Structure 1
């Protein structure tokens, strides 16, 4: 019933070892003669701040194959990790050298026990004292061409942390497109600089067709301006008139995990059938506790969830860029994802 991502990761990792030990007992094996073979990669160790990788690494997120219990087994010489010095791209090179089939070599990484991490759990909304002010900054950014005509203290803050070139681009975007930007009452794990961050998500919606070049510009600009935001998402459908200020209580229950499994299965099938699976490095599917498009007058409770599709291109699986609809992935494929999303009222990219 925990909602902390890091606590979830440790519980999943410890459960992984606990079940392995149960199986060892059921098979009547001697624990001292058993070795654990893992497909641990270099990024797993770096992100888990393992001393095996570096004595200076910042903890980003604990992987289930590098918890304290695993580290204890590793110190005892009971863990075999032949790939621990390699990144995913290097492992693919090794796979091809070994003559493995391409469909295995280029297959998208699947999180295994980590699938549970792709559920953003929440019992109550994440709204701190900086929520209203940050929301006002986002309103100025989303309607910059009109905001510059009205003197406002926060407008000066926006100008102070943007270049003239940024401001010209904002003027151009907001003159051509009707955008709405706002904070979502959840927080997600991300990396800002080389450090872990656990911060707000900014949502953008529009009554116009999405202009992806403009959206990617905003996705890079907004976290640079507002350091309490580490992720920007686009919300499909009609413009969000009433941004959610509460959440659907969400924990790692059987029903919630089944929803995510089904969403992930459908989305990956669509990507494969489109023929673009090889162009996208990875496409995590995430379940969030957000219920959009409720009538505020009826005061409906938050009871649905939203599916996030994150299309990602990378060579080393440590750094990368979003796959832009219309460039790296056809817009038509995105809309098939949208039709697939029968699980909730919302679809986010």
Structure 2
């Protein structure tokens, strides 16, 4: 660890990232996250990046990701050969491993022997060396390939093999070039993170000095430099991203920040209180609450089509936010301090998936709501732009935000409006709020909050089912539980909740929530099913 200040250390680390070159792998973001988990800042770049562009970023290391192609096919993704000549320590994974081998004079062949899933890899050297340091001679790894490196490039030492792959790992320590055929970034590779960290810390010599404390110090300095003495506003939803973004900006500029919270009536139980009391108490931020419940209920009356509901919610949100913003602008003008900046909780996956745009020309679409108008004349402040979700939570905890906010499950912008299949009414919202609160209480009591990513609770408002309650026939609504596990929301699997927890949830909902006589479990993965029902 260097003796520099946290801000200087973060600036230095962020200025020299590990670059993850994306060859179209479904795990490119996961690789970047695993690098960060090792205490090293990372960025994703496309495989079309030139050697000059890489050199301009002055990276401390490079990781070549996997990909679905075959290196010998016409038009297969390639790598600027000059990148491997920059003298930057480089680690190839799966397809990236094969690209490195081919470009450096090795041989890659379609052997007809595929390896998918769990595979045993065996060290073929007496001394494991840098890359496989501390790893058993036999290790279980996760493979996904049909091609294999049949001959390592000249000057490379073969480190490991499998039953079907003679060259499963190699190294040229003198040139700082390493690679493995398997996927060390996935949890299924038993020693995958250790192999990755061996490359980062032992081979490339990169210190593990990128952490939440450094990020906070760096962002505070950057926000102060960007904002100066101007006023700043933030649309606060109560979710993790906007809450942490607001807390960071408030730490940087204090009372120059004003947060706007729109209560559209589609929130879960106690969420308005969490924002108005818990968030304000932990940060001291100035909060303006817009009570727009009647406005939203009136606009949604009689509407059942999910896409139409989304559009209405987005439109009304914009109107509510704009009115509050207009009032604040007038107030600021009367004080001679114009509002010039808008805080946005943009995360790194948003940047990657949008092609890595600059994010300063126009306000990006508000998550699942419908988008703020392009003619809002504010410059964006995006303090979370380089971070993944788990890192945002860590930052929030470091800033002292309550766990009820930092640890809360992801929640869509349209709120419970898209968790009611059918028309949205005040009565149905109250019903769903009560059921949702029970589910969250029981999952927390069972210690399952860290095992599930989120558990949408859905009301099938336009569906009725026969039941028996109180010795009488009932005709009530079904409630659907949708517990899912995911790392990035791109794919997800349903979470296998214990039967006793499911039983308690079902019993409580059918006993305590009026007009509900049936609880069902959604066991669909994504794909084919989306996480939300609408």
TM-score when normalising by structure 1: 0.48
Higher strand fraction: Structure 1 or Structure 2? 2
Higher helix fraction: Structure 1 or Structure 2? 1
TM-score when normalising by structure 2: 0.33
Point out which structure has higher relative CO (alpha carbons under 8 A, 6+ apart): 1
Larger of the two Rg values belongs to structure: 2
